[in-house]
Amino acid sequence: MKKYFGCQCNNGIIVTDVCDEEDFWYFYMGIFKLSWQRSLMNRLKLIWHIIKAGSPYIDEIVLDKEDFIKFKKHLESIKIN
């Protein structure tokens, strides 16, 4: 159940996913910063990172169920004017 969210600056993407298996649960959030001025060397490094890691996401957060509930409560407490 992956969901993608674009940054308002049009320079990044956040992906979220939930693994809800019988005896294993986690919430995953990955952040990928886009750069339109990539040199050939930087593009090759990104391709190599994707081959090694399996995704282009550089920063990743993995929360277990207990920590996710705390995180969710925090997000729900944020007031939007």
Condensed to tens digits (0 to 9), the pLDDT of residues 57-71 reads 667 788 888 999 999
Break the chain into its structural domains and give their ranges. 3-77
Q: What average pLDDT score do residues 28-55 get?
A: 75
pLDDT, residue 77, reads: 93
- Euclidean distance between CA atoms 69 and 64, whole angstroms: 9
- Euclidean distance between CA atoms 32 and 34, whole angstroms: 6
- Euclidean distance between CA atoms 15 and 17, whole angstroms: 7
Task: Compute the mean pLDDT over every residue in the chain, rounded to the nearest whole number.
Answer: 80
Q: What average pLDDT score do residues 16-20 get?
A: 86
The answer on pLDDT for 9 being more than 80 is no
- pTM given for the model: 0.60
